Structure 1
Amino acid sequence: MKISEKHYSYILLAACLLLFFPHLDVLYANIMEARNFNTAREMLEHNNWVLTTMNGEARYEKPPLPTWLAALSAALFGITKLWALRLPSAIISTVLVLFSFSFSRKRLQLSAKQSLYASLILATSFYILFSGRNGTWDIFAHAFMLGGIYFLFQFFSSTKHKYRNTALAGLFIGLSFMSKGPVSHFALLLPFLIAYIWVFKLRTYKTRIVSFTLMILIALGLSSWWALAIYFGDSDTATAIADKEATAWANRNTRPFYYYWSFFTQSGIWTIPAFVSLLYPYLKTRVANLKAYRFSLIWTLAAVVLLSCIPEKKSRYLLPVLIPLALNTSFYIEYLVRRFSVLKDKRETFPVFFNF
């Protein structure tokens, strides 16, 4: 049965509902969630919405947007319900997947089927699936950042609706900062800019300086207001925490540069296709859209290299890499769907049978 393209969004929505929402209260809260949920509880009990606290002490290490959302969900459904505290993560993960589909289809002009493949790969990648059912900050930062990238790409590639695109890009980039500081700016936005400039080049923007400035101002305004609020409201504590956090990346959980080189394994069931999708000499003559494939490959590899330059390394920090990696993997999957019936070389068919 042939499925109409207009139904693909419904397929993705149904997949997200099945993947992210059922049984959100089955697993016990981990230590990262506990910090978030305790802060959310104290927001509701003590009205500490700006000068956030945990166990009565200042908790300024992370911006409060995900905690606000957890607190609002708890206010609606009950602070004792674990599923209510995790519900915002499931919702924002669904938004991430839908943004991924629109980015592939509308911005990169990939086929509807390949865009569907990319989004389903993203939704079922291990760390995306885990984060979507977990009440921590990372998934919010990267979902909002992909929204910012979605509108920024349109601003770069078209002169239409430039103020709308830059305003929305600034909004989402600012919301990303309010979710986990500059993490996604470094791990997702900067690699995107590197890939875009490398593959698509930048046009002259002399006539769009005002609209670009609007984006910067909106992003800066959203990103800085909370930091200014806690600085003027509790300057000594805010300064001490900022100093501690500034040195954390260099002193805690330090790992060698090559620690992330197995990054593709974080996609879980897509490990082998993800690895094959990185083999540019093999795929460059097989993909349907070589320029878009180069873009996704450079975006992925740039993210890994930049993260590798930071001394502090944890497996969960690879979460933003999975976003361009899912897109990159879709080029290989699209090739297999299109050509597998005529493939004769066992070197090409073996990875498929081994993985699936």
Structure 2
Amino acid sequence: MNKNFFENQSHYRLLACLAFLGYFFLMFGNGMVSLTHPDEVFYVQSAKEMVQHNSWLTPLIFDWRQFEKPILFYWLMAGVIKIFGPTPFVARFWPAFFGILGVLTAYGIAWTLFRQKRLAFLSGVVLMTSWIYLALSRAVLTDMVFSIWVVMALGAFCWGYYDRRYREKGIIVFCVLCGIAILTKGILGLLFCMTPVLGFLIYKKDLDFLKTRSLLWGILLLAAIAVPWHVLMYRWYGQEFIQEYWQNVHVRRIFEAEHPKSDKWYFYPLLMIGGVMPWSLFLIPTAGLVYRLFTTSTENRDRFAFLLFWIVATYLYVQPAHSKLASYIFPVFPAIAILIAYSLERILEGDVEKFFNKMAESIGYLMAAVFAGMGIAAIVMAKKYSSYVPDMLPVYVFAGAALLWAGALALASAKKRYGTQLAINASFTCLILLVMFSSRPSIEPWVSCKDISLVLNKTDQSPTTLLTSKFYVRGVRFYTDRKVAVININGKGFFSPHPIPFLNTDEKVLSFLEQQPVTYGIVRKNDLGDLYRITADGYHLQELDDIGGKHLIKIEKKS
């Protein structure tokens, strides 16, 4: 990874290279696995129903309005679905596209801050090969799209701040992107964009940077983008919109955990460390190097300050909320990738104390042990849960390749070939991706309702309402286009209410079964046990199929 090679390349060529790599890591093969439950099918089903009902302003789910998110992501989804249909690749196109765009933006921000092409290129590579970035680029969620609007807004600020020729344009573009972020995920779009910038400018004692007419124009454009849809929804739906969109989505999640198991103080710190695998161990020299340079030298201090304000501001908003998800903290990862790339650049240059080079060597050995351990663990776990792994060949291939990667990484570390070490580290993500592709036949039945729904569609074409488990209801609706009801004995309703029957008592289930002579359903094992108990006296329950832990059943009254 010769530095002169990178410095002699044009930005266009380096960006084109990152875009090509980004396509492979983040978009290639996105149509191989069917849309998964419960989240992917939620967003795609909403967009599909918007197209079916020609409802381009109001998001829908189960043929009824829903305000889980603002409208922009649904517009993007509905647009491509209307043209190309709701296929997996089409549905995952926008998250993957924005994932690639985020890689290019990280390059641009790193270049703006440090003016080193190899460092900027490394920022893009670290980001695209981080496992959390790979995962969210390949999932139909709003968070990748939202996060990249935020990242591009912060990039526009950097552009205007560090090159004052573009101050006016930078402020206007920042405000426009901030407005688009609000239209994608609500008030967090404003907070995640504005807080790092204001904190940084206060730290720099440079709030005068904002004293320009372009800020007024920017605010007007922000309002023109973000406000009209919200006003229209309030005028059309009044308190229903306020209750669902503001109270339930924005306020309730601060005080109530949607997923109680993740409501731990250490959830986000561990995620920020683990999310950048296979680069996690490099956070140790990164933290030490940044701390030393920040406290003992003025060189690049304000650049580090900006990246740290970016990370800390986002963290301080999401940490106090009881509803915690991996995707909520996602906007910090481009900043973390740039900091890691900075330390990698210094190690490659040899422009650090021997301690840091020794640490890089040690990290190589440790990561080699991690790779080898993953290969061995894959075989052990596959044999332990053999019923879930119909074909062991992909497991053995992965284990062998992981051991090969481990050996190569250990050898590169021993010879102090840090560039080779980094290339091997990054390419391990490629191995993970290839194994996922080859494991598709084993994985898909467990993560998607498609296969079991196809069997149901062949078995029954009646218009009756289907009975499903809570976890499967969105997937069953998407793949069958049938009305659905949920069985979840003693369970709580959806965090965001769905306009479908929710049967959480024996009496409600029996009342539902009375309404139609034959009921088909797709349920989990625990719900199947409840149904056997509830229907023991007056109904005949028949199991028709079992795919990926999903039981296809038929219930009819005893004659």
How far does residue 59 in structure 1 lie from its aligned partner after superposition? 1.2
Residue aligning to 1:238: 241
- 2:276 is paired with a residue whose SS is helix
Residue aligning to 2:265: 257
Mapped contact 1:144–1:176 kept (Cα < 8 A) = yes
Shift in alpha-carbon separation, 1:341–1:60, aligned structure 2, 3 A: closer
Higher helix share: 1
Mapped contact 1:63–1:178 kept (Cα < 8 A) = yes
- 2:321 is paired with a residue whose SS is coil
Mapped contact 2:67–2:241 kept (Cα < 8 A) = yes
Identity percentage over the alignment?
16
Structural mapping, 1:1-356, within 5 Å: 2-3=5-6, 4-6=8-10, 7-27=13-33, 28-79=35-86, 81-105=87-111, 107-187=112-192, 189-198=194-203, 200-205=204-209, 208=212, 210-241=213-244, 242-245=246-249, 246-252=251-257, 253=259, 255-262=263-270, 263-279=272-288, 280-282=290-292, 289-339=300-350, 343=354, 346-355=358-367, 356=425
Letter in 2 for 1:101: Y
Shift in alpha-carbon separation, 1:282–1:204, aligned structure 2, 3 A: closer
Identify which range, 256-265 or 143-152, moves more after superposition: 256-265
Deviations 1:138-165 (A, max 9, x none): 1111111122222223334454344432
Distance 1:130 1:260 in 2: 17
Distance 2:347 2:183 in 1: 40
Distance 1:299 1:236 in 2: 35
Deviations 1:239-295 (A, max 9, x none): 231322222221124624343222221112111113432234456579974442343
Identify which range, 23-32 or 289-298, moves more after superposition: 289-298
Mapped contact 1:287–1:293 kept (Cα < 8 A) = no
Shift in alpha-carbon separation, 1:50–1:96, aligned structure 2, 3 A: same
Distance 1:325 1:192 in 2: 17
Shift in alpha-carbon separation, 1:122–1:201, aligned structure 2, 3 A: farther
Distance 2:41 2:194 in 1: 29
Distance 2:201 2:129 in 1: 26
How far does residue 98 in structure 1 lie from its aligned partner after superposition? 1.1
Distance 2:210 2:123 in 1: 35
Letter in 2 for 1:88: W
Deviations 1:8-39 (A, max 9, x none): 11111111111111111233423222111011
Shift in alpha-carbon separation, 1:117–1:194, aligned structure 2, 3 A: same
Mapped contact 1:93–1:132 kept (Cα < 8 A) = yes
Letter in 2 for 1:24: N
Letter in 2 for 1:16: G
After the TM superposition, which parts of structure 1 deviate over 6 Å for at least 4 consecutive aligned residues? Answer: 285-288
Letter in 2 for 1:216: I
Letter in 2 for 1:66: F
Mapped contact 1:264–1:275 kept (Cα < 8 A) = no
Distance 1:291 1:341 in 2: 20
Identify which range, 280-289 or 258-267, moves more after superposition: 280-289
Distance 2:57 2:104 in 1: 31
Mapped contact 1:37–1:70 kept (Cα < 8 A) = yes
Letter in 2 for 1:18: F
Higher relative contact order (CA 8 A, sep 6+): 1
Mapped contact 1:145–1:188 kept (Cα < 8 A) = yes
- 1:261 is paired with a residue whose SS is helix
Mapped contact 1:170–1:215 kept (Cα < 8 A) = yes
Higher strand share: 2
Distance 1:287 1:164 in 2: 28
Shift in alpha-carbon separation, 1:44–1:64, aligned structure 2, 3 A: same
Distance 2:57 2:223 in 1: 18
Distance 1:30 1:90 in 2: 18
- 1:5 is paired with a residue whose SS is coil
Mapped contact 1:89–1:135 kept (Cα < 8 A) = yes
Identify which range, 214-223 or 343-352, moves more after superposition: 343-352
Distance 2:134 2:170 in 1: 29
How far does residue 300 in structure 1 lie from its aligned partner after superposition? 2.3
Distance 2:117 2:20 in 1: 17
Letter in 2 for 1:350: S
List runs of 5+ in structure 2 lacking aligned partners.
368-424, 426-559
Distance 2:198 2:348 in 1: 30
CA-based RMSD of the aligned residues comes to: 2.6
TM-score (norm 2): 0.58
Query: Would you say how many aligned residue pairs link Structure 1 and Structure 2?
Result: 352
List runs of 5+ in structure 1 lacking aligned partners.
none
Letter in 1 for 2:268: Y
Letter in 2 for 1:330: A
Distance 1:337 1:88 in 2: 35
Letter in 2 for 1:102: G
**Highest CA radius of gyration, 1 or 2?**
2
Identify which range, 301-310 or 130-139, moves more after superposition: 301-310
Letter in 2 for 1:169: F
How far does residue 118 in structure 1 lie from its aligned partner after superposition? 0.9
Distance 2:337 2:201 in 1: 17
Mapped contact 2:346–2:352 kept (Cα < 8 A) = no
How far does residue 212 in structure 1 lie from its aligned partner after superposition? 0.8
